Chain A
């Protein structure tokens, strides 16, 4: 059974940093592209960042809204996905979901973590 356990959220001040983690199990993690998606309270979904699997060389992509501030990475030996968030802003307040992508398709997310809430406020 595929499981994604995202964690690391919390309350942080503007300008601060946080690191989110996502522990994956139930599939061959290194072969799959993974993505972080966020959802601000009462709002729609927003794509944040994607990292491809070993077969695509671990290519990385970011939304313009987080480029230069967030860093996605993965440790295939630990089956874990990360999102390091720096220079946090109030508008980064959201629930962050770790997602697994269906390969060889248009970036659909077939499995989601339960989400971890990030609140940026002074």
Chain B
């Protein structure tokens, strides 16, 4: 069982927006603004798309945005495209360790 809780799957149609949640505790997400999100296509290496809750690294699409409320972080993908179909993993810093969620499979209908 993962330390952070994500929905197993979400889906959306091209052009729509979807949001993936990532729920932790007041020892990780609630305590630090250090949530990251990774996109992983099948058979590929994870790619960082959001860090420190809402920062986008160079090369990450501006269709990805992040936010946080209490012990839950959110990844929003706007203007869904077929290429967004992938697994999404959240992580949070937790006092000299790091915890991940179990991952969410995004299906673009």
Contact = CB atoms under 8 A, between A and B. Distances in A.
Q: Is the interface of B mostly helix, strand, loop or mixed?
A: strand
Contact of B45 (A50, A108, A114): A114
A61 B103 contact: no
Contacts of A105: 34, 51-52, 55
Contact of A44 (B2, B34, B36, B96): B2
Instruction: Please tell me the size bucket of the interface on B.
Output: 20 to 34
Contact of A47 (B38, B46, B47, B98): B98
A32 interface: no
Nearest to B34: A106
Residue among B32, B47, B92, B97 having the largest count of chain A Cβ atoms under 10 Å: B97
A109 B48 contact: yes
Given A106-B35, A108-B36, A108-B52, A47 B97 contact: yes
B100 interface: yes
Nearest to B96: A61
Contacts of A106: 32-36, 51-52, 92-93
Instruction: Please tell me the size bucket of the interface on A.
Output: 20 to 34
Contacts of A110: 48, 51, 57
A48 to B, nearest CB: 9
B51 A45 contact: no
A112 B40 CA distance: 12
A97 B97 CA distance: 17
B46 to A, nearest CB: 6
Contacts of B72: none
9 smallest CB-CB distances across A and B, nearest first, come from A106-B34, A108-B51, A47-B98, A106-B93, A108-B36, A44-B103, A44-B102, A45-B100, A112-B45
Residue among A97, A102, A106, A113 having the largest count of chain B Cβ atoms under 10 Å: A106
B97 to A, nearest CB: 6
Contacts of A47: 91, 97-100
Nearest to B100: A45
23 contacts: A43-B102, A44-B89, A44-B100, A45-B100, A47-B98, A61-B96, A63-B97, A97-B46, A102-B51, A105-B34, A105-B52, A106-B33, A106-B36, A106-B92, A106-B93, A107-B91, A107-B93, A108-B34, A108-B48, A108-B52, A110-B48, A112-B45, A112-B46
